[in-house]
């Protein structure tokens, strides 16, 4: 007997039938476009190349080498089989001691050993997604809100809100100061929530930033700590990209800030860190997420909640062994930073050759690409038209800024670490071809209209049918903007 489906929504819960998962976002639509037509070198060379996935695949050879040389780390090998029963039977949901110790040690090394983390405060979860939701459950009630600087990771709309009933109040950041978080923007967001009778329970930051690929400086971090102490609200620091910093300025963890002598009056009960191995080591499939709270009550509550999203003991066993190898970890961190720097340079220089700029960045697995000059008009609708063309004509899955709640249309997040050099060159070739064809239209319009500065007008039709419309170039365009990278 086959499965019979029906659309009787009243048989399901409100949570099951609402759109809180935010799958209608262009961020997820781009993934669907890729899934329906994925690029393959031989079987589908004209397919969509996935540049919307923030995944780190640049150092898998180092991990594979370690696994081959340490077969006993897995309980599914002849060398590790003697540990099988001990690992397979029920384990305390506090986590294996070796796992918590290994993660705590790695968190310290990823921060240059400038701060130490207590293994007893390590609470595991099913990835950073589970960690964020766990903290939301611990810190806020339905209807309460977290302040989040824009642009921010689209998944927060799901992670923080869907099952918890918590709201997000955006802190509007702008390109005029490279999207820096200011005291004025913080206060403005807080007051907007207050005027709407929304209780603010915390501030969530991502450092290094997704999607900007930038790090927060010491003064900004101090400002954030002062703000949350003044308002008596929590500070959640998502630091899952801590070890992806490949250039100066270096990464500064919130854990370092609260250790400073002038932070003696800081209420540490308000400070919480979310971490994961998904980005720094490229292990999203292992679902290793971490909540590290300086608040004992939050740590105890989160540990109880962790029973709903434990990391398998088999994974804990392997990760504990891997991260306890100081020689491997040291080599991995250095090599990863070097490879990310090389790939970032390769990609940004390739874009700069055709006049495409990006926000200056030194971390993460992506760049914040500036295509504002290619918009017909500075609107989200125009950005959507351009994005659809990039998806369906250029065949690249990139993520539009509107899906990150960016207040300025025309910015796009483009991931560069989830593919090999050959595929990246193919992606660059497609971008070059697209821009050159666009320039051809622009030059034709220049000759026809006899104007010095023209704006390429894009439509959802094929590039051959692009509309011609004169438009004065924006002072923030990739060509004239101070954000442009030097070639």
SS3 at position 75: coil
Cβ partners under 8 Å of residue 302, min gap 6: 123, 125, 134, 135, 138, 291, 293
Mean pLDDT along residues 243-257? 96
How much is the pTM? 0.85
What confidence category does residue 86 fall into, taking pLDDT thresholds of 50, 70 and 90? Answer: confident
Q: What is the pLDDT of residue 262?
A: 81
What confidence category does residue 80 fall into, taking pLDDT thresholds of 50, 70 and 90? Answer: confident
List pLDDT tens digits, range 105-121.
Answer: 999 999 999 999 999 99
Return the H-helix or E-strand segment holding 46.
none
CB atoms within 10 A of CB 72: 13
Mean pLDDT along residues 10-16? 81
List pLDDT tens digits, range 301-314.
Answer: 999 888 888 888 88
What is the pLDDT of the chain when averaged over all its residues? 85
| CA nearest to 398, candidates 422, 430, 436 | 430
List pLDDT tens digits, range 343-353.
Answer: 999 999 999 99
- Which residues are catalytically annotated? 153, 238, 240, 279
Better-scored residue on pLDDT, 10 or 9: 10
List pLDDT tens digits, range 438-477.
Answer: 665 555 445 554 443 433 333 333 333 322 333 333 333 3
């Amino acid at each position: 007997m086959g499965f019979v489906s029906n659309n009787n929504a009243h048989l399901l819960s409100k949570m099951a039938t609402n759109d809180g998962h935010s799958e209608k976002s262009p961020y997820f639509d781009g993934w669907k476009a890729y899934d329906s037509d994925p690029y393959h070198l031989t079987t589908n060379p004209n397919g969509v190349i996935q540049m919307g996935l923030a995944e780190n695949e640049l150092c898998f050879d180092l991990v594979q080498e370690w696994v081959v040389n340490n077969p006993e780390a897995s309980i599914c090998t002849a060398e590790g089989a003697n540990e099988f029963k001990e690992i397979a039977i029920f384990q305390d949901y506090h986590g294996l001691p070796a796992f918590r110790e290994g993660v705590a040690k790695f968190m310290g090394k990823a921060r240059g050993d400038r701060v130490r983390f207590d293994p007893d405060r390590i609470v595991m979860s099913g990835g950073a997604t589970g960690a964020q939701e766990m903290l939301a459950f611990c810190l806020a009630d339905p209807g309460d809100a977290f302040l989040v600087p824009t642009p921010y990771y689209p998944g927060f709309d799901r992670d923080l809100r869907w099952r918890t009933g918590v709201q997000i109040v955006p802190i509007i950041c702008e390109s005029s100061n490279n999207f820096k978080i200011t005291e004025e923007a913080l206060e403005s967001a807080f007051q907007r929530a207050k005027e709407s009778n929304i209780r603010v329970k915390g501030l969530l930051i991502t450092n290094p930033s997704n999607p900007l690929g930038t790090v927060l400086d010491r003064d900004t971090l101090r400002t954030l700590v002062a703000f949350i102490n003044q308002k008596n609200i929590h500070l959640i620091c998502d630091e899952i990209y801590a070890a992806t910093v490949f250039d100066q300025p270096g990464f500064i963890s919130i854990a370092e800030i609260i250790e400073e002598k002038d932070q003696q009056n800081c209420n540490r009960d308000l400070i919480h860190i979310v971490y994961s191995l998904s980005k720094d080591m490229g292990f999203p499939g292992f679902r290793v997420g971490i909540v590290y709270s300086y608040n004992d009550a939050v740590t105890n509550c989160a540990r109880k909640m962790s029973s709903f999203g434990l990391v398998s003991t088999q994974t804990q066993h392997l990760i504990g062994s891997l991260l306890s190898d100081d020689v491997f970890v040291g080599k991995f961190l250095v090599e990863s930073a070097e490879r990310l720097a090389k790939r970032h340079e390769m990609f940004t220089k390739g874009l700069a050759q055709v006049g495409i700029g990006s926000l200056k960045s030194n971390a993460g697995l992506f760049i914040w690409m500036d295509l504002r000059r290619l918009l017909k008009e500075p609107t989200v609708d125009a950005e959507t038209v351009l994005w659809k063309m990039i998806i369906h004509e250029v065949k690249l899955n990139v993520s539009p800024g509107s899906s990150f709640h960016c207040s300025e249309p025309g910015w796009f997040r483009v991931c560069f670490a989830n593919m090999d050099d050959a595929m990246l060159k193919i992606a660059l070739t497609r971008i070059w071809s697209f821009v050159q064809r666009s320039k051809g239209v622009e030059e034709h319009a220049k000759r026809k209209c006899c104007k010095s500065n023209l704006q390429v007008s894009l439509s959802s039709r094929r590039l051959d049918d692009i509309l011609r419309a004169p438009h004065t170039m924006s002072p923030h365009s990739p060509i004239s903007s101070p954000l442009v990278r030097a070639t």
